Structure 1
Amino acid sequence: MQGMQFEVQPHLASASLLHATIRQRTINMKTQRKVTTVIVGAGNRGQNYARYGEDFPDLLQIVAVAEPRQNRRELMQKKFSVPQERCYKDWEDLVKEPKLADCAIVATQDQDHLKPSVALAKLGYHILLEKPMAVTEEDCRAIYEACQEAGVMLAVCHVLRYHPPARKLKELIDSGLIGEVVNINHTEPVGYWHFAHSFVRGNWHKSKDSTFSLLAKCCHDVDLIAYWMGNKKCVKLSSFGSLHHFRKEKKPAGGGTRCLQCPIEEKCPYSAKKIYLDPAPTKPRWPMSPVCDIEDGPGGYLANLTKAIETGPYGKCVYEVDNDVCDNQVVNFEFSDGATATLTMIAFTEHLCSRKAIVYGTHGQLTWDESKGHFVEHYDFLSQTTSIHKSDDPIPINWGHGGADYFLMKSFVNAVAAGDKECILSGPKVSLETHLLTFAAEESRLSGAVVRPSEDPRWSVN
């Protein structure tokens, strides 16, 4: 279906030439010492970060994996030649061993981040932690404090800080090109079928079982706004949002309870058949892989996927699920110098996570619209001219978040190899601060009050 191949950048040069260029830039780092890592959680995100070891085996080696699902565990074992005795069903078995590697990649479910992160930090592992850090303020602080006490590096997967166009935007702001920043207007268009997949039918559909959608989906974006604003103190914050559409009372007349038996399926844009089966996949890939990742069996992968749609949660009508997270939310920020920002998270969009930001300054404005490409547009008030600014870094093909996952891994591996935490843009203090802003935004939405983060110790970091 439209948008399914969102990672591929068709305007780029040949894949082989691009990969060669990226590889050369990757190995030209401060040190080429090979870093070893353990993978805790081998789902889509864990596999995506582990891919760095597949593309650059001379820089990163996966030496152990902890994953409860046998097929995922065996996939990692085979791909990275992990010894059988280093394949664990549970992270608790892993941490019973002496330290096995330089670092750990923690990519478990959001609500399960705390215990493995703390245990691994105490053993001396540097930590790459999938966002969000955790699903409560207390757990986020506990991870931060554990890493501080152990003296290990912590990189939170706020991957967009590493994305070349986002970094180019930051560079242009800091250069004074548009004068003083007065306002940032930032939108995260989740994508209509992506929201149905992840936040209606999927793992993040219910706040008590995972977390609220702003934290799960947009802690990236709160962090980006803070990054572009130079991490200035937020003095006031308000938020509004709701579950507007995916409710039983919005269900079309005549609809069924499961998509494959629904008499009006053809008229529904959120149909599981359209999202998962019509692309006719022959092997697991996102978004099909969370639905069914087992390739073996009679009839091949499509038959296994169809059975999962017939019986599992991803085949339910989007109006019959017990979901409760917001499908639209806005957050308003005021900073210490009077500058303001607005974040909009919206489910109902054509483009999938193709973020758009407009930075309004006293001398001009900057626009980044990822749906149009990896560049920043500058309009200058004095000359009334427009110019285009591109990053010098080539964007790798088929890496998550438009290549940002690759740049995160490159920075983290380099930081561990060189023992230099300055390579990490999403370190513990700034990541905790922006997570706390996200929790504050949800507090405002639920209470209807304006929150003052700079005055409340609950939202501050010592």
Structure 2
Amino acid sequence: MPISNGQTLVAPVRLAIVGCGQRGKIYASYALNSPERCTIVAIAEPRPQTRKQFAERFALPAHAVFESWEALLAAKTENGERIADAVVVAVRDTMHYAVVSAFAQEGFDILCEKPMATSVSDCIKMADAVNKAGCIFGCGHVMRYSPYVQEISEIVFSKQLGELVNVVHIEPVGYFHFAHSYVRGNWGNEKESSFSLMTKSCHDIDLLCHWFKGQTPVRVSSFGSLSHFRKAGKPAKAGDATRCLACPAEKECAYSAKKIYLDPVQQGNIGWPVDTFVDGIPDIENVTEALNTTPYGLCVYESNNDVVDHQVVNLEFSNGATASFTMVAFTSLICQRQTRMHFTNGEIVGDGLSYTVTNFSTMETKQYTPTNLGGHGGGDLGISEAFVRAVAERKQEVLMTDVNEVLKSHLTVFAAEKSRKDGAVVDCAQFEKEMRQDL
């Protein structure tokens, strides 16, 4: 049924999903819960079982199912009508620029999973392509769309606690999450993907830039290293073993692939993280095969990883305000951000689920626990809803950002990584100028 925007009836937004992995599935699920707002009309996915299951889930006809994004783009019209109104780009990070720029050129609105791209040049060129096309653009910085962050942001922007002067923000990645994604997984090697501050924590730099809206980062410094997940950290008992299923130290190893993947499947858990690396529904047989043949069964001390497992970033904004950010692998919490915000007349302290607000004038402290609506504290649902509404109403502002602001936060991440590698404070404006000159 068409939905009303208050004046006219609007047909459901037609979405094409490019990449049917974990993130593609999450964004697409909004169509199942809100069919009056959007519908999935086409997909592109190279893995046969994943493609088949996705097509069945959304009852897609064969002519709407493609093995590659290029094939979907080539079939961009059907019977003279555009095959979709918008595309969700959830392919490998290194492919984002090619896919987004191609669909933007053809006039599709686009929701691109974060990061927007893995090089400065591709980020800049993507922003140029989107601006030239004039399409609606969203980036998968889902944190800012959760009820938790939106409530805090409303307090920040209202100035009820005065000016925001300083933020201390921590991203506890989670010990086995880091091993899964940033040691064994797709984001473990910088040349094959990007550095971990970009692939994991561009969320968080985006949040800091969002909270200091109206100000720009002027200087950044950063420190960090790969301290543990390397051969020197391997237990002596492991000997020459390179795979967990044949390792004498497996039982006492915190990062055992058997503990992280196979044991949960035997207990009936077939969701994340094990569903990210098998084609089809995880079971004991295909997971065991994967642990014997793919990087997900490798010893974390024998893997092809080189990205840092802990990093700090210090930011100075144009009004003199400051922020510090820490990303660390070695935590029991998984992605449950910890934040302290210091204002001229108050303080906010949050743990990702609830937060307290202290007003210095009234000496009152109140605690708030926003509704948690699922993945990323409701951010997955929030960004899906915002993107669909932005497309339906033709209003970029519904997304609370645009491609130029997204680019600015990404450039700040690149500047931070340059600081870490060079051991020097980086001037953000000068960094951007140099990067644009290099193009």
TM-score bin (small chain): over 0.9
Provide the secondary structure at the position in 2 that maps to 1:113.
helix
Shift of residue 377, structure 1, vs aligned partner: 0.5
Provide the secondary structure at the position in 2 that maps to 1:329.
strand
Shift of residue 381, structure 1, vs aligned partner: 2.6
Q: Which residue in the other structure is 2:66 paired with?
A: 88
Shift of residue 384, structure 1, vs aligned partner: 3.3
Shift of residue 459, structure 1, vs aligned partner: 7.6
**2:43 equivalent to 1:65:** yes
Measure, in 2, the Cα distance between the counterparts of 1:281 and 1:156. 36
On the 8 A contact 2:45/2:67 being kept in 1, the answer is yes
Q: Which residue in the other structure is 2:340 paired with?
A: 358
Q: Which residue in the other structure is 1:451 paired with?
A: 426
What pairs with 1:174-213 in structure 2 (closer than 5 Å)? 174-213=157-196
Measure, in 2, the Cα distance between the counterparts of 1:28 and 1:343. 42
Measure, in 1, the Cα distance between the counterparts of 2:133 and 2:420. 36
**Aligned residues: percent identity?**
43
Q: Which residue in the other structure is 2:26 paired with?
A: 48
Q: Which residue in the other structure is 1:345 paired with?
A: 327
Tell me which of 350, 360, 369 is aligned to 1:381. Answer: 360
Tell me which of 335, 353, 375 is aligned to 2:317. Answer: 335
On the 8 A contact 2:166/2:341 being kept in 1, the answer is yes
Provide the secondary structure at the position in 2 that maps to 1:341.
strand
Measure, in 1, the Cα distance between the counterparts of 2:393 and 2:360. 44
Provide the secondary structure at the position in 2 that maps to 1:57.
coil
Tell me which of 390, 399, 407 is aligned to 1:424. Answer: 399
On the 8 A contact 2:187/2:194 being kept in 1, the answer is yes
Q: Which residue in the other structure is 1:7 paired with?
A: none
Equivalent residues, number: 426
Structure 1 residues 122-181: Cα deviation after superposition (integer angstroms, max 9, x where no partner): 111000000000001111111111111111111111111111111111111122232221
Tell me which of 275, 279, 284 is aligned to 2:260. Answer: 275
Q: 1:58 to 1:315 in 2, by over 3 A?
A: same
Structure 1 residues 214-261: Cα deviation after superposition (integer angstroms, max 9, x where no partner): 000000000000111114111110011100100101111111321111
Shift of residue 28, structure 1, vs aligned partner: 7.8
On the 8 A contact 1:433/1:460 being kept in 2, the answer is no
Measure, in 2, the Cα distance between the counterparts of 1:176 and 1:134. 34
Residue type of the alignment partner of 2:244 = C
Q: 1:436 to 1:37 in 2, by over 3 A?
A: same
Residue type of the alignment partner of 1:328 = H
Structure 1 residues 284-311: Cα deviation after superposition (integer angstroms, max 9, x where no partner): 411001232433xxxx812221221122
Measure, in 2, the Cα distance between the counterparts of 1:385 and 1:239. 36
Structure 1 residues 398-429: Cα deviation after superposition (integer angstroms, max 9, x where no partner): x3212210010001101111111111124211
Q: Which residue in the other structure is 2:297 paired with?
A: 315
What pairs with 1:139-288 in structure 2 (closer than 5 Å)? 139-255=122-238, 256-279=241-264, 280=266, 282=268, 284-288=270-274
Measure, in 1, the Cα distance between the counterparts of 2:307 and 2:193. 10
On the 8 A contact 1:433/1:459 being kept in 2, the answer is no
Residue type of the alignment partner of 2:41 = V
Q: Which residue in the other structure is 1:129 paired with?
A: 112
Q: 1:267 to 1:283 in 2, by over 3 A?
A: closer
Q: Which residue in the other structure is 1:4 paired with?
A: none
Measure, in 1, the Cα distance between the counterparts of 2:361 and 2:122. 49
**2:371 equivalent to 1:435:** no
On the 8 A contact 1:291/1:309 being kept in 2, the answer is no
Structure 1 residues 360-411: Cα deviation after superposition (integer angstroms, max 9, x where no partner): 11222101102xx2x32112334433112354xx432xx3212210010001
Q: Which moved more, 1:75-84 or 1:405-414?
A: 75-84
Provide the secondary structure at the position in 2 that maps to 1:95.
helix
Shift of residue 72, structure 1, vs aligned partner: 1.3
Provide the secondary structure at the position in 2 that maps to 1:388.
strand
Provide the secondary structure at the position in 2 that maps to 1:155.
strand
Tell me which of 95, 100, 106 is aligned to 1:117. Answer: 100
On the 8 A contact 2:121/2:435 being kept in 1, the answer is no
Residue type of the alignment partner of 2:248 = P
Q: Which residue in the other structure is 1:8 paired with?
A: none
Structure 1 residue runs without a partner (length 5+): 1-26
Measure, in 1, the Cα distance between the counterparts of 2:85 and 2:287. 38
**2:352 equivalent to 1:367:** no
Residue type of the alignment partner of 1:258 = R
TM (norm. structure 2) is 0.93
Tell me which of 276, 279, 288 is aligned to 1:290. Answer: 276
TM (norm. structure 1) is 0.88
Measure, in 1, the Cα distance between the counterparts of 2:363 and 2:357. 10
Post-superposition, which runs of at least 4 consecutive aligned residues in structure 1 deviate over 4 A? Answer: 27-32
